[in-house]
Amino acid sequence: MSVHPSEDNSSKVKRVTTHQLQAMKVRGEKIAMLTAYDFSMARILDQAGIDVILVGDSASNVMAGHETTLPITLDQMIYHASSVVRAIQRAFVIVDIPFGSYQGNSSEALKSSIRIMKESGAHGVKVEGGEEIQQSVERIVKAGVPVMGHLGLTPQSIYQFGTYTVRAKEKSEADKLIRDAKILEECGCFGVVLEKVPAALAQEVSSVLSIPTIGIGAGNGTDGQVLVVHDMLGITQDFQPRFLRRYAELGSTMDAAVKNFIMDVKNKQFPNADESY
């Protein structure tokens, strides 16, 4: 008999599932989501009680130092995702399918998601776009893979838009976003990220959809919030958009710690007798 992860009483911690995320929306309980790309960070987030971990293709920026999310490969995403999955007991883990691994080819989309699920052990995938990727979403969902959509500012299309400014301020773009959100829900997506869109629009989309919306720079009317963990911890210091709240200043803390270490080594203060064998 197969046992669903959420029904496995042998493990003390119950895993978050798409059904629970849906139930949270119905109850009005907000969903907390953060990115992670490695084992150590994922363990901290999971133990703190985060609901969802996104192995975002923002790894391309944050971990690899690229200017955009475009260069990261499927193999690299699987490497990051499997490191995260090894750390978690409770959180639902979603992985971005990277640029070039799903757009315009639903067979490629299906193959990429199956590789992610099989090789990393993650619980779902995320894709950017609406109507244009409808076929891909349908095929992935039919294969039994939970899919999260992503609308508004979609960083994989940055060269089409040209800027990282707020999206869907114009009525025609807002109407398309609402249409796309409904299409994603009809295709079977279990949730949608809304990035950098007006708060009123995000609220409207959240009330129209029965699946949860997760906002980033989309106001307080979405069903949950996501931030890039290095941004909210103050590790990335040069990125300060209006929507970002920094919950710690780890960049400065780490800078001071490293400077203290250098000083102690230079002054022969480290290690001391207690730190030696």
Residues with catalytic roles: 195
**x/- map, 219-258, ligand KIV, by CB under 6 A:** -------x-x------------------------------
Least separation in angstroms between residue 217's CB and ligand KIV is 9
Judged by CB under 6 A, the chain residues 79 through 108 that form the site for ligand KIV are 96
CB 66 within 8 A of CB 60: yes
CB 194 within 8 A of CB 218: yes
Kindly tell me which of 164 and 270 has the beta carbon lying closer to ligand KIV: 164
Asked if 216 is part of the footprint of ligand KIV (rule: CB under 6 A), the reply reads yes
CB 33 within 8 A of CB 49: no
Kindly tell me which of 17 and 68 has the beta carbon lying closer to ligand KIV: 68
Kindly tell me which of 98 and 198 has the beta carbon lying closer to ligand KIV: 98
Least separation in angstroms between residue 270's CB and ligand KIV is 37
Instruction: Record the tokens describing residue 84, joined without a space.
Output: 């995260």
Kindly tell me which of 87 and 262 has the beta carbon lying closer to ligand KIV: 87
- Tell me the residue type at 4: H
Length of the chain as a residue count: 277
Question: What's the gap between Cα 68 and its chain centre?
Answer: 16
Number of residues that bind ligand KIV (CB under 6 A): 11
Least separation in angstroms between residue 69's CB and ligand KIV is 6
**x/- map, 172-211, ligand KIV, by CB under 6 A:** ---------------------x-x----------------
Least separation in angstroms between residue 56's CB and ligand KIV is 2
Bond before 271 cis per omega within 30 degrees:
yes
Kindly tell me which of 54 and 209 has the beta carbon lying closer to ligand KIV: 54
**x/- map, 41-70, ligand KIV, by CB under 6 A:** -------------x-xxx------------
Q: Comparing C-alpha atoms, which of 159, 179, 183, 163 is closest to residue 171?
A: 179
127: region left, alpha or beta (phi > 0 left; psi from -120 to 50 alpha): beta
- Residue nearest ligand KIV (C-beta atom): 56
Instruction: Record the tokens describing residue 51, joined without a space.
Output: 């609901």
Residue 204: φ, ψ to 5°:
-65, -45
Least separation in angstroms between residue 144's CB and ligand KIV is 23
Q: Which residue has the tokens 């995000």?
A: 202
CB 39 within 8 A of CB 84: yes
End-to-end CA distance of the chain: 53
Judged by CB under 6 A, the chain residues 22 through 41 that form the site for ligand KIV are 35
Distances in Å between the alpha carbon of 75 and those of 67, 96, 138, 270?
19, 12, 23, 40
Kindly tell me which of 18 and 35 has the beta carbon lying closer to ligand KIV: 35
Least separation in angstroms between residue 195's CB and ligand KIV is 6
245: region left, alpha or beta (phi > 0 left; psi from -120 to 50 alpha): beta
Binding-site ranges for ligand KIV (CB under 6 A): 35, 54, 56-58, 96, 193, 195, 216, 226, 228
